[in-house]
């Protein structure tokens, strides 16, 4: 008889445990907020961190000049980003913020991507570009973005062939097929043959890349990164 009194509570407890597990399994999945991929490109001369709702997004290192953070998932809709200089402490106040940037990340399609270029340390020098990436088995695809506020109107040559021309700050070309392999880059003003930049980039087929200008005529620079 004593054995029977002991078994009944154990069986009751097991039944209750099974019921709880069953309830957990039948709970609806938690909905994940839709997001969009955003790439922050630093065309300024500062090392920067960027924040969303007070949380730093570039967690590994500061975003160095001519660097790109890579695509980061950010919730769709209206968002407010904040940008600060790189510090050695994680304690910040609002006074540390260089500027905030309101952006609208539209929910048009599942493959929408954006690049936000920071040409300086004020909101007026930041701008957003919609990235339309395509696969091309035979070519790399390259675009040029004019992120140099002080030097506008540029001509960009690849292996002595004129590929891009710009007229205004914040202008961006489409991604163009440009072959693959190493390319010599030369950048000139639109109205003279003064060489502003000379360098080499390496391109692989079936990838999308961005080349962008930065700086002033006395400190002209060019940045380059792979989008995909």
Judge whether residue 136 has pLDDT over 90: yes
Burial annotation 104-135 (CB, 10 A radius, 16+ → b, else e)? ebeeeeeebbbbbbbbbbeeebbbebebeeee
For CA atoms 12, 17, 20, 25, give the dihedral sign: negative
pTM reported for the whole predicted model: 0.81
Average pLDDT over residues 167-188: 96
Any idea where the domains of the chain sit in the sequence?
Answer: 33-131, 136-228
Average pLDDT over residues 161-167: 94
Average pLDDT over residues 177-205: 96
CATH classification number, 33-131, choose in 2.60.40, 1.10.10, 1.10.472, 2.20.200: 2.60.40
Average pLDDT over residues 148-168: 94
- Which of the residue ranges 16-20, 87-91, 154-158 would you say has the lowest mean pLDDT? 16-20
Of 160, 145, 149, the residue nearest 195 (C-alpha): 160
What is the predicted pLDDT for the residue at 116?
97
> Which 3 state secondary structure label does DSSP give 43?
coil
Judge whether residue 117 has pLDDT over 90: yes
pLDDT confidence bin for 96, thresholds 50/70/90: confident
CB 190 within 8 A of CB 165: yes
Average pLDDT over residues 126-144: 95
What distance in Å separates the CA atoms of residue 42 and residue 116, rounded to the nearest whole number? 9
pLDDT confidence bin for 217, thresholds 50/70/90: confident
Q: What angle do CA 40, 46, 51 make, to 5 degrees?
A: 45
Q: What is the pLDDT of residues 40-83, one digit of tens each?
A: 999 999 999 999 988 888 877 889 999 999 999 999 889 999 99
For CA atoms 133, 134, 138, 142, give the dihedral sign: negative
CATH topology assigned to domain 136-228:
Immunoglobulin-like (2.60.40)
Which has the higher per-residue pLDDT, 167 or 145? Answer: 145
Judge whether residue 124 has pLDDT over 80: yes
* Same fold across 33-131 and 136-228: yes
* CA R_g for the chain: 26
Q: What is the DSSP letter of 36?
A: E
What is the predicted pLDDT for the residue at 55?
87
pLDDT confidence bin for 20, thresholds 50/70/90: very low
């Amino acid at each position: 008889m004593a054995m029977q009194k002991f078994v009944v509570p154990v069986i009751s407890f097991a039944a209750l445990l099974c019921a709880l597990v069953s309830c957990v399994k039948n709970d609806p999945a938690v909905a994940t907020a839709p997001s969009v991929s955003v790439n922050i490109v630093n065309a300024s001369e500062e090392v920067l961190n960027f924040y969303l709702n007070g949380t730093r997004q570039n967690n590994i290192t500061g975003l160095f000049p001519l660097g790109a953070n890579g695509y980061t998932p950010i919730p769709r809709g209206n968002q407010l980003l904040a940008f600060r200089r790189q510090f050695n402490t994680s304690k910040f106040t609002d006074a540390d913020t260089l500027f905030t940037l309101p952006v609208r990340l539209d929910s048009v399609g599942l493959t929408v991507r954006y690049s936000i270029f920071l040409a300086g340390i004020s909101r007026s020098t930041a701008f957003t570009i919609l990235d339309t990436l395509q696969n091309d088995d035979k070519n790399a695809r390259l675009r040029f973005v004019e992120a140099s506020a002080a030097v506008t109107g540029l001509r960009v040559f690849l292996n002595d062939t004129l590929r891009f021309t710009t007229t205004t700050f914040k202008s961006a070309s489409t991604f163009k097929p440009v072959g693959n392999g190493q390319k010599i880059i030369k950048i000139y003003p639109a109205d003279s043959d003064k060489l502003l930049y000379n360098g080499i980039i390496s391109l692989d087929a079936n990838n999308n890349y961005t080349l962008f200008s930065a700086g002033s005529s006395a400190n002209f620079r060019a940045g380059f990164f792979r989008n995909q």
